Amino acid sequence: MTSKLTTSNRAGWGFALPGFALIATFIVLPFIFAFWLSLTNQRLISPNPTEFVGLDNYRSLLSIDVLSIEPERDAAGALVRDDDGALSYPAVRGFTRNNPDYPQYAGMREWFRWHWGDTAKVVIATDVIFWKALANTLTFVLVVAPVQGALALGLALLINQRLRGINFYRAVYFMPVVVSIVVVSLLWRFIYDGEDGLLNNLLSALTFGAFTGMDWLGNPDTALGSIMAMSIWQAVGFHMVIWLSGLQTISPTLYEASAIEGASKWQTFRYVTWPGLRNTAVLVVIVITMQAFALFAQIDVMTNGGPLDSTQTVVFQAVERGYGKQDISGGSTISVILFVLVLTISLIQRWLAREKT
Amino acid sequence: MATVKLRGIRKSYGPVEVIKGVDIDINDGEFVVFVGPSGCGKSTLLRMIAGLEDITRGTLEIDGKRVNDLEPSKRGIAMVFQTYAIFPHMSVRENVAFGLTINGVGKAEKEAKVAEAARILQMEHLLDRRPSALSGGQRQRVAIGRAIVRDPKVFLFDEPLSNLDAALRMDMRMEIGKLHQDLGASMIYVTHDQVEAMTLADRIVVLKDGQVMQAGAPMDLYHEPANLFVAGFLGAPSMNFMDVRVSEVTESNVTVSNGALDPVAVPRKGRDFTPGQQATLGVRPQYLSPAETGRGMLHGRVALTERLGSETVLDITLKDGSKLIAALGEDRILAPGTEVNLNFDPGQAHVFPEQR
Ligand SMILES: Nc1ncnc2c1ncn2[C@@H]1O[C@H](COP(=O)(O)OP(=O)(O)OP(=O)(O)O)[C@@H](O)[C@H]1O
Ligand SMILES: [Mg+2]
């Protein structure tokens, strides 16, 4: 039965219009705005008129270089060593401040360095915090995506069994997803607390007092890891449900066929389950990656990017610049860079997971 | 090659018993067909033999060994499913070789076995295709190939042809028959299609509500159905039943009649009747013919004539209002409304003490 409504082209567009309008208003338009603002020096509130600055914002965010610094030598050409025998190097700011020999390094600061023989290789960037944020975000993605994906699959396999009360477990694993990430972050601040946190208490009880406590979020070495662990825990249930729906599309007769052939558990997973989850895997990986890149609320609630910028992230920086520092153009630039980054990675993932014929 | 022995097999899902005590002996190399209406428990029975369902009670023996608690893969069976159950992401070759791959069989042996199965099923040209590029019949062939490669003692088929169209079903039916001749393996085949049952089986087991109604060679069941259910289930078009009244019982015969049927003495085949009781008379449509001379035994009018080419089917409304079908060998047109008197050989008729 084809009514006029289902065949009319105009009706079709009519139905699509509300969706289009919402997407255009809240996604496409803001993005175009952001792109435009990233080419200006717009501030949130400013007495000065906005100027078009071209790619200056991108330049100052992205410029990065490696500086090779030779150790200092005395008049005879011998290496100068201090009392401990360590080499001494000229200060980086000698190159980056008012040095007419190195105009390209003007205004840059040291991010980190390593040694190549006696030469010190110093990575310098105009916007070191942005680079730290980018590095933290990528680390977060590289750890969280595989761990969370695998963990979620493991849980999905466990709860895909026909057991009595299995819905209870499904609900329990899914519960953190329903709770707002802000609330979860607040709760985990208590868990990670350095003084009397739940985790410290637990560890000290388990080690009979040998473990004396740790300020998980206050220590630059553990802060990012702590946030990763908590983020993995919070969203694992969501991806578990996606995996579960994928698992349930696999025909039970395929499992019966492989049981008759004598496949072990692992072989069944390898030859039946995993190939059947192919499309689900692409979805899960892309969604986790995008969510991980968007890491913000946990940082905002738990660490504010600290300590020592060890938990700075790209989105946190975008917000911090745009609203904290009222630098709308800087925030917009970061947003555009993040967009391009996530888009590129998603496209690469899709290409890698394409159907090979 | 093996024998399969079912003794008092029962299956319950919770409080519901779906298989109610089944005893069957399947001989070495025999082709046995389980047939019955939907929901009678054919699949359940087959899956218990395969080991995919637990056996609630009773014993199952394959080759004289109790296998109730043995894993499916250890029972020496291979199964072909209605929905093919071939792995979509593997080529035909990989699918057929699946069991061998799983069990770490060497490459040369694997190649040889796959080639042999492909030859038997005439699908050498399909080996490198993906299942998505195969027709339904070809997919089922792949599934059968996977079973052949296992070299099983017993083949199990669960309605393997139900998803195929009529023409293909006939081809595949013949191929499965040929496969049985070639391999000589024991086969158990589940279907609700009585044509498949009649053509393929060495022995048919008719099931109803989880119980065996009758088991025997196809023509024995056709000619000597043990009860009303089997009589009505086998044969197409199905047997005509008439409600009749018993007037006389002798050593070998019982005389029955009703408003449209003149009294006729039919062999009672050891069944017990008492004069005056109601009974059911069954006559296959093929054994009814219009009386050439005399007044015939059954009286009615033609309601409809259907010419099928090989035979002509008459729908007849009897004098007492009941309906009847007669299949005539020759092309004979009787206009609707014509009065007919039918004759049949009482030796080909069946009377059952139970009522419909
Ligand atoms: N998992 C189950 N739980 C409860 N009842 C079941 C289950 N599986 C099957 N049954 C019941 O057992 C009976 C037999 O089912 P079975 O699948 O063996 O029928 P079948 O003869 O193969 O029918 P069909 O020709 O439709 O395939 C049916 O009444 C069905 O409802
Ligand atoms: Mg069935």
| Residue B299 CA from chain centroid, whole number | 33
B83–A256 CB contact, under 8 Å: no
- B226 and B246 part of one domain: no
- B252 and B225 part of one domain: no
Percent over 70 (pLDDT), chain A: 99
A2 band by pLDDT with thresholds 50, 70 and 90: low
- B229 and B320 part of one domain: no
CB atoms within 10 A of CB A179: 11
> What single string gives the DSSP state of each residue in B2-46?
--EEEEEEEEEETTEEEEEEEEEEE-TT-EEEEE-STTSSHHHHH
In total, chain A counts a number of residues equal to: 357
Domain of residue B252, residue span? 240-348
Whole-number Å distance between alpha carbons of B146 and B140: 10
Q: Is A353's pLDDT higher than 90? A: no
Q: What is the CATH number of the domain that holds B339?
A: 2.40.50.140
Walk me through the domains of chain A, giving residue ranges and CATH numbers. 65-125 (no CATH), 129-352 (1.10.3720.10)
Task: Give the pLDDT of residue A41.
Answer: 81
A202 band by pLDDT with thresholds 50, 70 and 90: confident
In total, chain B counts a number of residues equal to: 356
| Residue B106 domain flag | yes
| Residue B281 domain flag | yes
CB neighbour list of residue A173: distance below 8 Å, 6 or more residues apart:
A155, A159, A236, A237, A240
Residue B104: closest C-alpha in chain A: A263
Average pLDDT, chain B: 91
Q: Which of B73, B103, B129, B144 should one mutate to test binding to chain A, selecting the residue with the greatest count of A CBs within 10 A?
A: B73
For residue A162, the CA-to-ligand 1 centroid distance in Å is 19
Q: Which residues of A touch B154 (CB under 8 A)?
A: none
CB atoms within 10 A of CB B320: 13
- B218 and B98 part of one domain: yes
**Distance between start and end Cα atoms, chain B:** 42
The answer to whether B161 and B172 have CB atoms below 8 angstroms apart is yes
Whole-number Å distance between alpha carbons of B160 and B187: 13
Q: Of B93, B26, B75, which is closest to residue A260 (Cα–Cα)?
A: B75
The answer to whether B246 and B254 have CB atoms below 8 angstroms apart is yes
For residue B55, the CA-to-ligand 1 centroid distance in Å is 14
> What single string gives the DSSP state of each residue in A273-320?
IHHHTHHHHHHHHHHHHHHHHT--HHHHHHTTT-STTTT--HHHHHHI
Tell me the shortest Cα–Cα distance from B133 to chain A, in angstroms: 12
A259–B72 CB contact, under 8 Å: yes
Average pLDDT, chain A: 86
Quote the number of domains for chain B: 2
Q: Which long-range contacts (CB under 8 A, 24 or more apart) does A323-326 make?
A: A323/A44, A326/A43, A326/A44, A326/A45, A326/A46
Considering CB atoms only, which of A254, A257, A262 is closest to B103? A262
| Residue B187 domain flag | yes
Helix, strand or coil, per DSSP, at residue A264: coil
- B244 and B203 part of one domain: no
State which ligand 1 atom lies nearest to the alpha carbon of B44.
18
Q: Of B117, B103, A272, which is closest to residue B126 (Cα–Cα)?
A: B117
Note the pLDDT tens digit of each residue in A258-314: 999 999 999 999 999 999 998 899 889 889 988 888 888 888 888 887 788 888 888
Q: Is A357's pLDDT higher than 60? A: no
Residue A253: closest C-alpha in chain B: B85
For residue B45, the CA-to-ligand 2 centroid distance in Å is 9
pTM of the entire predicted model = 0.81
- B226 and B300 part of one domain: no
The answer to whether residue A191 neighbours chain B at the CB level (below 8 Å) is: no
- B106 and B216 part of one domain: yes
B1 band by pLDDT with thresholds 50, 70 and 90: low
The answer to whether A220 and A136 have CB atoms below 8 angstroms apart is no
Q: Is A110's pLDDT higher than 70? A: yes
- B200 and B285 part of one domain: no
For residue B354, the CA-to-ligand 2 centroid distance in Å is 28
A261–B52 CB contact, under 8 Å: no
The answer to whether A12 and A4 have CB atoms below 8 angstroms apart is no
Tell me the shortest Cα–Cα distance from A127 to chain B, in angstroms: 49
b/e burial code for range A285-298 (CB count within 10 A of at least 16 → b): bbbbbebbbebbbb
Tell me the shortest Cα–Cα distance from B31 to chain A, in angstroms: 21
CB neighbour list of residue A51: distance below 8 Å, 6 or more residues apart:
A40, A41
- B214 and B253 part of one domain: no
State which ligand 1 atom lies nearest to the alpha carbon of B45.
18
